[in-house]
Structure 1
Amino acid sequence: MNMMIKTPLTVKGAQMLRDELHQLKTVERHAVIQAIAEARAQGDLSENAEYDAAKEKQGFIEGRIADLEGKLSTAQIIDPATLDTEGRIVFGATVMLEELETGEQVTYQIVGDDEADIKQAKISIGSPIARALIGKSEGDTADVMAPGGIRQYEILEVQYI
């Protein structure tokens, strides 16, 4: 029995992948085909660096298109706003934490691997901190294995936005 592995994505993450796919199919693909045609028109392909570069880029674009189509076809799109998990931390939740030792407060959203971006405070569901938080609720503490040892966080707030 072939079980399709579902890739969890937030609504925003799925839209981001769709936008990239659209850009690749409508703009990039045509541009690289044009570049190949122009390089081909220059004659000898054996020493034609432009042709080789354009063919390589075409391979990358086609690979990325296939990758994105695959991810979107197996995506389990989750809208955090529709979740009713009685305050428990789940995929898509936005969590405000306080590190107990330093008192530093941080807010993260738990997202899929393709959406993770620490600069936007989006952490992957597979990250140690996300794994420590899943299933917990406001007021709980979570122990996270960090490079410098275990860090303790108190969960101040859980939002589904």
Structure 2
Amino acid sequence: MEKVPMTVRGEKQLREELDRLLKLRPQISEAIAEARELGDLKENAEYHAAREEQGICEAQIRDIEYKLSVAQVIDVTKLDNSGKIIFGSTVTLIDINTDAEQTYQIVGDDEADIKSGRISVSSPIARGLIGKMEGDEVTIVTPGGQKDFEIDKVAYL
């Protein structure tokens, strides 16, 4: 089984979601029991809705448990970091053509959220940055075309 990289923050969020879903289980079971008491199950909308909710909840629990089982949690604050871009690092880039500044944290696929500045380690930008150093200039081919960046700052938060 191949391990999947994940940040400490990503693991914490998954564990919190798993705890929430596990606490929801008894409530769903109770809703099913209450709906059963209402009578004929064939035409009982409350029963069918509760069973559907139970199925969704159980699928989410299995999915999270699997993700946690294959996760390789990487804490960048405990690694020897000397300005080199690695998984989990936060990188500030300056677009050489527009002088626009962008900051990204390189995270696992499931943690990626571009609106929050978290990009997947398998994204074109992250792949182009891994292994580079603070101060380097890089050219990255993205789906939107070729981009030229200067690596302004590398942080390990």
TM-score interval, normalised by the smaller of the two chains: over 0.9
Q: 1:17 aligns with which of 14, 21, 26?
A: 14
TM-score, length basis structure 2: 0.94
Shift >3 Å, 4+ stretches: none
Q: Specify every segment of 5 or more residues in structure 2 that has no aligned partner in the other structure, as ranges.
A: none
Q: 2:43 aligns with which of 35, 42, 47?
A: 47
Q: In the TM superposition, what is the alpha-carbon distance from 1:150 to its structure 2 partner?
A: 0.7
Amino acid at match of 1:51: Y
Q: In the TM superposition, what is the alpha-carbon distance from 1:142 to its structure 2 partner?
A: 2.3
Do residues 89 (structure 1) and 109 (structure 2) align? no
For residues 31 and 153 of structure 1, the distance between their equivalents in structure 2, rounded to whole angstroms, comes to: 51
5 Å-filtered alignment, 1:10-159, equals: 10-26=7-23, 28-159=24-155
CA RMSD of aligned residues (A): 1.3
State the identity %.
55
TM-score, length basis structure 1: 0.92
Q: In the TM superposition, what is the alpha-carbon distance from 1:139 to its structure 2 partner?
A: 1.5
Q: In the TM superposition, what is the alpha-carbon distance from 1:37 to its structure 2 partner?
A: 1.1
Number of aligned residue pairs: give it.
157
Q: Specify every segment of 5 or more residues in structure 1 that has no aligned partner in the other structure, as ranges.
A: none
Deviations 1:129-159 (Å, cap 9, x if unpaired)?
1111111111212222334311111111111
SS in 1 for 2:153: strand
Q: In the TM superposition, what is the alpha-carbon distance from 1:80 to its structure 2 partner?
A: 1.1
Q: In the TM superposition, what is the alpha-carbon distance from 1:44 to its structure 2 partner?
A: 1.0
Deviations 1:50-80 (Å, cap 9, x if unpaired)?
2112111111111111111111122111111
For residues 127 and 84 of structure 1, the distance between their equivalents in structure 2, rounded to whole angstroms, comes to: 24
